Amino acid sequence: MAVRLAAEEKMMVDVVRELVQEKVAPRAAEIDAKGEFPWDMKELLATQGILGMPFPEVYGGLGSSELSILMVIEELAKACATTALILCVQQLGALPILLAGTEEQKQRFLPRLASGEWLASYALTEPGSGSDAGAMRTKAERRGDSYILNGLKHFITNAGIAHVNTVFATVDTSKGTRGISAFVVESDRPGFHMGKIENKMGIRGSQTGELVFEECAIPVENLLGKEGEGFKIALATLDRTRPGIAAQALGIAQGALDFAVRYAKQRVQFGKPILDNQGIQFMLADMDIQVEAARQLVYHVGELMDRDAPSFTRESAIAKTFASDAAIQVTNDAIQVLGGYGYMREFPVERMMRDAKITQIYEGTNQIQRLVIARALAK
């Protein structure tokens, strides 16, 4: 598939590729080991304009194509999945405002998100409401000119560090998903605070935790769209951001393959590089097949979005499912190529495998994605 990017977008991808080698890759192991949010990487993405890619120029962004955003996420994830996730979640948290916000809301929030001065979060998941959004228990009660939020969100990326939080809450539990509304909650609102911070298996530099709402008053001006449209906004957002997770998985897989190939060229056993052994050659070939197939699916859905295709829900689900499953298989095989060394934290492939696992889970588990695909087939 021929990749269609504008000249300036090709230049951006090339710049990011260099930044990854010079700045991101040397920090990746330390970010994982410390398990702390990498503010230096956030500043790097902000100063280079990378965080502005998903935002229209009128709001201070670059107005980049979806394909170029996916390619940049891929490049970042080759070295550090945590750093790639900063861009993914900036788009995820801001997209509901872009899709459903008023012009006043867009002018109020988007420029400072595009510049990277502010970070965003997307708060949908709850302890009893993951794949089943209709079981949501966070409530929003209209009182005069305000909505009063009460409840708990968990597994929220950028919890406690985001300035702008897109929060989904129900205004009528009897209506299920049709009772859900979307709100923008600024981090300094009284009654809103961070709860538990999670200690995770992978993407350890990304801060994941709980958001707690206790009589948190937000103005009616912070409602996105109309009451009851929250679930529709949430699904439309995930359709458009799910390919970013596919691109993250693709980058992780490509990074693991690249390292495994370099190692196989250098590692000598029985008097020759292990790359000369047919067994290793076949493993690497299968890994390459998986990576290249994932790339075609990811780039395809990016081009569909750029062409304003009427629907790409199925293609988005396919790309995310295949790429994340491939990332698990490829990183597992990369560890096998390295043998005992692959199991050691001195080498990056064990980190890549830990990072890859979450791509099968967040922004809709792969089981949910298969349901989405099956429903598309049924139509």
CA angle, 319 then 285 then 346, to 5°: 85
Q: Is 363 a catalytic residue?
A: yes
Q: How far apart are CA 282 and CA 237, in angstroms?
A: 39
Q: How far apart are CA 275 and CA 338, in angstroms?
A: 11
Q: How far apart are CA 379 and CA 376, in angstroms?
A: 5
Per-position DSSP letters for 21-63, written without gaps between them:
IIIIHHHHHHHHHHT---HHHHHHHHHTTGGGTTS-GGGTS--
β-pair partners for 153: 211
Query: Catalytic one among 66, 74, 126, 363?
Result: 363
CA nearest to 371, candidates 88, 122, 132: 132
Query: What distances in angstroms separate CA 337 from CA 253, 274, 325, 379, one per listed residue?
Result: 14, 9, 19, 43
Radius of gyration (Cα) for the chain, nearest Å?
Answer: 21
Catalytic center residues? 363
